[in-house]
Structure 1
Amino acid sequence: MMMNYDLISENPESTVVAEFEPGFYSAAQYQSEAEMEQDFINRLTRQAYEPLTVTSEKELITNLRSQIERLNGIVFEDKEWNDFFTEHIGNPNMGIIEKTKTIQEDNIKAWTRPDGSLVNISLIDKADIHNNSLQVINQYVPEGGAYDNRYDVTILVNGLPLVHVELKRRGVSIKDAFNQIDRYQRDSFWSGSGLYEFVQIFIISNGTLTKYYSNTTRDAVSKANQKNGKGKGKTQTSNSFEFTSYWATKSNVPVFDLMDFTQTFFSKHTLLNILTKYCVFTSENLLLVMRPYQIAATEEILLRIKTSTNAKTYSKREGGGYIWHTTGSGKTLTSFKTARLASRVDDIDKVLFVVDRKDLDYQTMKEYDRFEKGAANSNGSTAVLKKQLDDPNARIIITTIQKLSNFIARNPQHKIYGQHTVLIFDECHRSQFGDMHKAITKKFKKYHMFGFTGTPIFPDNAGAIRNVEFTTTEGAFGDQLHSYTIVDAIRDQNVLPFKVDYIRTMREEDEILDEQVSNIDRERALMAPERITLVSKYIMEHFAQKTRRDSRSYSFAQLINVGEVATAKDRNKVKEVKAKTRLTGFNSIFAVASIPFVKLYYTELQKQNELLPPDKRLKIATIFSYSPNVDTEDESPEDTDGLDQSSRDFLEKCIADYNAMFGTSYDTSADKFQNYYKDLSLRMKNREV
């Protein structure tokens, strides 16, 4: 029978479609979930997926064998297949973590055949993604689970179930599909040979709304399975609905409807690219799947590297560019994947990831290590940076703009200047303009320069100096390659919306109108003990509410996701969310103008904190330092040498409070204060402070 294929796009460079005209679909088109499911499969078939009927695990394994044989150009004897399957695929000692690692990092298995010959067996071809086969099955019933389950639709990649789709009819909450997958993970994904533990990506849809998310690998053994004696010891997943994402176009237009999602996300090129390039298996054994704007930004940079290399426009603005992604949207993950993929581009010798200060250097290194231990090389001094630049095996190097500038000043001749280099600047709105920027661009002869920023500098906000070449982000780095603004992030619920409260802290009669004395009198008024007390009291009284640790600050509507139906069944879940929120919530940072303000507020907040019952007290800590604006060998924001004695003594007292709180032993000496700075940063991130 002649098949009709609907090919949306086949572009070897782009995973995220640039433009897409969504169709119009009404609820009347789908009278049942079964009709929606069949239409979905029909569309996949027209997109060159092979429909397959599988009614048992035996048939699933038989198909898997034939697909692995096809991919590798090999024919297994029965015993060979049984041995290979038992060792590398259906091994009862492999859990979700091991199976995820197999797909993401260890997809080629070195296997010794019975005759002693050694062969490499690939489970998924990452070099040429179109060598992989895509099949679709539906209504598969697993064998041996804790309960009887029937899965909606599964995508097989070379016979392995790597993508699972759960559907609900229009009008039903998409959260029901999410919860159903959670039940399958507890009840039956581990059953039989555990093939469904290979699933990397889940899709949930009610037709009107469609989302995707990774099969995370948090260690949480199902109590139900342990109780029933089934799946004991298996590693189950622990997903969160908060980490589900909408697909979108390159211009950040969301793709909600299942049929539109099928034409874009399930385009063979797109799906295989996401599975093979745009998932990250972290050193913490968590699987992350990138969001569309992250993928689009990464590919724009890679495309610019290739096109400018071919056109020999490197070392010019045409060879670089910048990414405008709002704060909190995951720039570190994007930059990590970009750096990794750029380091693999033919003819690229080094990738330098450049941050502004030593604390960012440390934090970025920790973040990179979280994605992949040892994937990048950080450095503590200019001498170490030179050693890494000399090392051909150090493909990705994290450094600061100050150390890089010092390196250039002290090494007027070095081979790195003539090598093909990619420089990626984090938070490029900060210090990359001016003399240091000029020194770097003058010395490097064959480079591509890219900046990531959440707050780009445009001509209108460049300040009084109108040297556009160095004072604007575009002037320094080149074209804007991709943007994902705060408006996009709030719409997608990837960051919290702004909520600004204006609280008057001075009476009208206290306001100073005479400009000649306003600054003097204003500071005296702002530092008045009565005002410090009132502000501190307000903070303590409203902390739980403002950080959402007090569940009473939530209305029921706020706890139901946009586009979902608030059913009676949801209310029990809301209670769970409230309970978790009371224990976690958000954190807070109180920024003040100067060290004298720090002393006043820290003292008053601690004083009021002592008046609270022990279980209601906050963990309060402070950080301040003295950092002159000069280049030094070990430039550091954690420098206390320039503090006056009174400020340093006060800081010692604050650190002593911190030590008593956490059992640490820090002080203001150079090494220990740096460790205090890092420890406090980590505890802030983990909401321990």
Structure 2
Amino acid sequence: MSIQSEAALEAGLIATLRQMDYEYVQITEEDNLYANFKRQLEIHNKKQLAEVGRNSFTDEEFEKILIYLEGGTRFEKAKKLRDLYPLDTANGQRIWVEFLNRTQWCQNEFQVSSQITVEGRKKCRYDVTILINGLPLVQIELKRRGVELKQAYNQIQRYHKTSFHGLFDYIQLFVISNGVNTRYFANNPNGGYKFTFNWTDAANLPFNELDKFAVFFLEKCTLGKIIGKYIVLHEGDKCLMVLRPYQFYAVEKILDRVQNSNDNGYIWHTTGAGKTLTSFKTAQLVSELDDVDKVMFVVDRHDLDTQTQSEYEAFEPGAVDGTDNTDELVKRLHSNSKIIITTIQKLNAAVSKTWYSSKIDSIRHSRIVMIFDECHRSHFGESHKKIMQFFDNAQIFGFTGTPIFTENAVDGHTTKEVFGNCLHRYLIKDAIADENVLGFLVEYYHGSEEVQNGSTNRMTEIAQFILNNFNKSTFDGEFDALFAVQSVPMLIRYYKIFKELNPKIRIGAVFTYAANGSQDDELTGMGTGSYLNDSAGEVDELQAIMDDYNEMFGTSFTTENFRAYYDDINLRMKKKRADMKPLDLCLVVGMFLTGFDSKKLNTLYVDKNMEYHGLLQAFSRTNRVLNEKKRFGKIVCFRDLKSNVDAAIKLFSNSNNPEEIVRPPFEEIKQEYKELASDFLKKYPDTNCIDLLQSETAKKEFVLAFRDIIRKHAEIQIYEDYSEEADDLGMTEQQFMDFRSKYLDIHDTFALVDPAPSSKPDDNTDTSDDGDLGDVDFCLELLHSDVINVAYILELIAELDPYSADYAERRQNIIDTMIKDAEMRSKAKLIDGFIQKNVDDDKENFMMQRGKVDGTSDLEERLNRYIAVERENAVNSLAEEEDISSSVLNHFLKEYDYLQKEQPEIIQKALKEKHLGLIKTRKALARILDRLRNIIRTFSWD
């Protein structure tokens, strides 16, 4: 039986949608699109038009609407879609035009169209478009069965660069499918393929097949609800986000309970699955209910760090009660704000102290909905009881990744006892299966049997082990690590040992600062041993650690501004800011083991007794999804915690199969790698075989085969037992690097030629070529190190000594380092020329500048000038070869630098003026665009 074509898949989808009462509309080009939009908008606004005695917009009025819709960024347009537009008519009347009915989401006009043609670099035909009230809000990209789904994703990314404009900037959702796998994602070009999602039922069973997905997700009322209620406009990043299915079902459960009962409840969503977004969307939608007076989002004060506050502000600007002043909370409770974000500590003070409670007595019986973040902490003590006794008409809901059950209860209280029944579950095994969080690689270090636990010798051995293996675990510092230890005294001892070992990595430490142990353990949730003890001289020890930190990063923290120190460590561990040197390893006791969320953290070292929720919470600091390179969270235990790990996984995954959560042992992965390598080398015994490959199909077969090797290589090298020198892996490290070079050569030849989204033939038949390499995902992130950037290369150049005996070797190492890196190799020739001019040909001046304090910054300035000159030379050379004005080429490059989007019409217009004829113009356009893309790749430096 022949494989179902893309055209057949498209026809089947459209037939399904028509059966679901979508109107099919034939739209061939943008003019038809605007005409249809006018008709649909008039239908949707017929009541408003009827109020002024009409049933249509005049051409002038519609032009006003289009002008209004045209302005602004994609994010601003998403806001316009949800707002009413005050249209002033010619006779002085006003019509409030609605583009989307968000409250009665079924009452929108739904249409489906296919093969809408948009003029871009070529005429692009989009597969299937869903229009709501005439606006293209959902775009569906299809590939035939058997084609990698990521090809459809990559196609959409090219559309972003080359053709989406006008009304297509209003797309809210994308759907990609190859028939058997279907995913959806928000219109956020920078999200990445990792942030595309399956749709599921409430029990987390996925609808992968396109027909099932269409029936459940694209059902008109469901789709209308998702676009109207469940797309989030993230103010911080100015981007669109869409809830995943488990988030959708959780919010729906709480809304149903608020509207139809006074019962409480809790949501069990595994750590790392996006509870903050879910709970905020819950708060937002609950606050819109007429009979709810206030919604309070309550967190532990230790979770409300600077980064967390900024995230909360991104969802609900102005809602965070971030001060330490309880008076501010009292004011907010009396204000018109329906959503308040505060801490349980402040809320406890407000209801416990008469000075405050008397001021809020008038609202104690109001209908208040309280949402508690991480409800397993800080909510089982007296403070929680006081809050609930005071607000006697409150309805409470909790969110947790690790509920308290009888098995892991410390004082006998359980989550169900405090919050009621579980309303929705999304467990860690579900999240790993969906690739929403990563699994764990748990390894146990035993060390020397002669070294006793707790001894200085043992601690020194462990510290040396961490330093020796740090680069392996973190991909040469691309990621970072936490080291959790048992107590503050132990942390101080470890810190001094690390310092004595003179580490090359940046090491810091943080632990709770509470002079004389004055913090309330019930409210901090930190427990004994995690705060300072003045009598033991620990304040001075902390200050000494902070002094080292200040010297390392040029800061000036003291114990008096400890919170600022904590926030600074938080930022450096997250590696989000290019202007901040990162912290590589942070020693902790209790802090950062709960609540801390960083995609750049991939390793946790443990010399601490942990169990149940504390253990899984700590492990889960490492398992945030980032990219292909980060395949799991790595845990290295220096204590025998295996039985505790197994018990925690069994409890919180509701499964007796730990293999769903924890990665297999090294020997198993080693055998998998060996089998892959053996099969590969049977087909490609040496790299000469790759040079003989002629057809694109043959090259694609090699790429796909070696890509499997690359992925398994990235996985196995994180294991502590892995060694590059091992001779029993089926492929030596040298063989891997040689084939890697051939792999990147093919990538440079094919994948970097950014193909224009091609016009589909008029008969709409599928013409995809099995040998096409243009859409293959080369997984380049696995072959690129964030460490190898312009700053790193400049450091290597600055260390060169052209008069030394090993200069030629060190110079070549710089070039080889760049060539081996997937993203830097295109710049290797440029750097080689820079070194030639500024070091080889100018030795004395280079050595003189090298000795200055600001030598590296001077080198950077010279590199920037060199790049500018070389880029200008490349542009002028292209202009001369193609007989086109360099000003035209620079205009194209300037627009690309600004918009990060190609505008081929700039080149096309200049070529048309030369009257070359259609075929020659097309060929010249293709050549010039290809050269311009190469200029962009070579001369663009982050």
Query: What is the TM-score of this pair, normalised by structure 1?
Result: 0.77
The one-letter amino acid of 1:295's match is F
Retained in 2: the 8 A contact 1:30–1:170? yes
Deviation string 1:348-407 (CA, Å, 9 cap, x unpaired) is: 11111111234436554322112232244444232222222222x121122222222222
Candidates 46, 57, 65, aligned match of 2:38: 65
CA change 1:200–1:619 in 2 (3 A) is farther
Q: Does 1:118 align with 2:90?
A: no
The one-letter amino acid of 2:372's match is F
The residue that corresponds to 2:462 in the other structure is 535
The aligned runs of 1:611-650 (5 Å cut-off) are 612=504, 617-618=505-506, 620-626=508-514, 628=517, 642-644=533-535, 646-650=537-541
CA change 1:376–1:277 in 2 (3 A) is farther
Candidates 200, 213, 220, aligned match of 2:185: 213
Retained in 2: the 8 A contact 1:377–1:396? no
The residue that corresponds to 2:564 in the other structure is 675
Candidates 431, 444, 451, aligned match of 2:391: 444
Q: Does 1:402 align with 2:345?
A: yes
Candidates 46, 50, 70, aligned match of 1:90: 70
The residue that corresponds to 2:222 in the other structure is 270
Retained in 1: the 8 A contact 2:378–2:524? no
Task: Describe the SS at the equivalent of 1:394.
Answer: coil
The one-letter amino acid of 1:53's match is Q
Moved more, 280-289 or 675-684: 675-684
The one-letter amino acid of 2:283's match is A
Candidates 299, 303, 313, aligned match of 2:256: 303
The residue that corresponds to 2:493 in the other structure is 600
> Relative to total residues, which structure has the larger helix share, 1 or 2?
2
The residue that corresponds to 2:106 in the other structure is 130
Task: Describe the SS at the equivalent of 1:252.
Answer: coil
Q: Does 1:45 align with 2:45?
A: no
Shift of 1:274: 0.9
Task: Describe the SS at the equivalent of 2:106.
Answer: helix
Retained in 1: the 8 A contact 2:113–2:128? yes
The residue that corresponds to 1:184 in the other structure is 159
The residue that corresponds to 2:80 in the other structure is 102
- Cα distance between partner residues in 2 of 1:340 and 1:378: 19
Task: Describe the SS at the equivalent of 1:625.
Answer: coil
Shift of 1:299: 1.0
The one-letter amino acid of 1:492's match is D
- Cα distance between partner residues in 1 of 2:489 and 2:195: 42
CA change 1:338–1:378 in 2 (3 A) is farther
The residue that corresponds to 1:497 in the other structure is 439
The residue that corresponds to 2:208 in the other structure is 256
Shift of 1:443: 2.1
- Cα distance between partner residues in 1 of 2:378 and 2:547: 34
The residue that corresponds to 2:172 in the other structure is 200
Shift of 1:604: 2.9
Deviation string 1:117-157 (CA, Å, 9 cap, x unpaired) is: 222111111121122111111111102x1233221111111
Candidates 311, 315, 318, aligned match of 1:371: 315
- Cα distance between partner residues in 2 of 1:374 and 1:147: 45
The aligned runs of 1:224-373 (5 Å cut-off) are 237-283=189-235, 284-308=237-261, 314=262, 319-360=263-304, 364-373=308-317
Shift of 1:436: 2.1
Shift of 1:629: 6.7
Report the aligned-residue RMSD. Answer: 2.5
Retained in 2: the 8 A contact 1:640–1:648? no
The residue that corresponds to 1:664 in the other structure is 555
Q: Matched residues, percent identical?
A: 42
Retained in 1: the 8 A contact 2:321–2:329? no
The residue that corresponds to 1:488 in the other structure is 430
Deviation string 1:440-459 (CA, Å, 9 cap, x unpaired) is: 22222211111111111112
CA change 1:636–1:304 in 2 (3 A) is closer
Deviation string 1:421-475 (CA, Å, 9 cap, x unpaired) is: 1111111111211322222222222111111111111123324x54xxxx01111
- Cα distance between partner residues in 2 of 1:276 and 1:432: 34
- Cα distance between partner residues in 2 of 1:173 and 1:360: 42
- Cα distance between partner residues in 2 of 1:527 and 1:267: 62
Shift of 1:53: 0.5
CA change 1:594–1:258 in 2 (3 A) is same
- Cα distance between partner residues in 2 of 1:340 and 1:494: 24
CA change 1:452–1:659 in 2 (3 A) is same
- Cα distance between partner residues in 1 of 2:344 and 2:60: 59
- Cα distance between partner residues in 2 of 1:348 and 1:476: 22
Candidates 319, 324, 329, aligned match of 1:380: 324
Retained in 2: the 8 A contact 1:359–1:637? no
The one-letter amino acid of 1:594's match is S
- Cα distance between partner residues in 2 of 1:133 and 1:291: 25
Task: Describe the SS at the equivalent of 2:440.
Answer: coil
Retained in 2: the 8 A contact 1:132–1:157? yes
- Cα distance between partner residues in 2 of 1:527 and 1:458: 32
Retained in 2: the 8 A contact 1:210–1:257? yes
The one-letter amino acid of 1:432's match is H
The residue that corresponds to 1:389 in the other structure is 333
Q: Specify the structure having the higher radius of gyration (Cα).
A: 2
- Cα distance between partner residues in 2 of 1:637 and 1:385: 24
CA change 1:37–1:606 in 2 (3 A) is farther
Retained in 2: the 8 A contact 1:354–1:423? yes
Moved more, 536-545 or 70-79: 536-545
The aligned runs of 1:417-456 (5 Å cut-off) are 417-456=364-403
Consecutive unaligned residues of structure 2, counting only runs of 5 or more, are 50-55, 577-581, 584-942
Deviation string 1:225-276 (CA, Å, 9 cap, x unpaired) is: xxxxxxxxxxxx3330011111111111111111110011101111111111
The one-letter amino acid of 2:498's match is L
Query: What is the TM-score of this pair, normalised by structure 2?
Result: 0.57
Shift of 1:546: 2.2
Candidates 144, 152, 155, aligned match of 1:169: 144
- Cα distance between partner residues in 2 of 1:600 and 1:642: 15
The residue that corresponds to 2:543 in the other structure is 652
Task: Describe the SS at the equivalent of 1:164.
Answer: strand
CA change 1:58–1:426 in 2 (3 A) is same
Shift of 1:594: 1.4
Q: Does 1:478 align with 2:401?
A: no
Shift of 1:630: 5.2
Task: Describe the SS at the equivalent of 2:481.
Answer: coil
Task: Describe the SS at the equivalent of 1:384.
Answer: helix
The one-letter amino acid of 1:383's match is D
Shift of 1:619: 5.2
- Cα distance between partner residues in 2 of 1:686 and 1:415: 46
The residue that corresponds to 1:590 in the other structure is 483
Q: Does 1:685 align with 2:574?
A: yes
- Cα distance between partner residues in 2 of 1:590 and 1:453: 24
Moved more, 401-410 or 494-503: 401-410
- Cα distance between partner residues in 2 of 1:620 and 1:459: 37
- Cα distance between partner residues in 1 of 2:192 and 2:144: 22
Deviation string 1:283-303 (CA, Å, 9 cap, x unpaired) is: 120111010011111111111
Candidates 27, 42, 50, aligned match of 1:54: 27
Retained in 2: the 8 A contact 1:99–1:198? yes
Retained in 1: the 8 A contact 2:37–2:134? yes
Retained in 2: the 8 A contact 1:155–1:164? yes
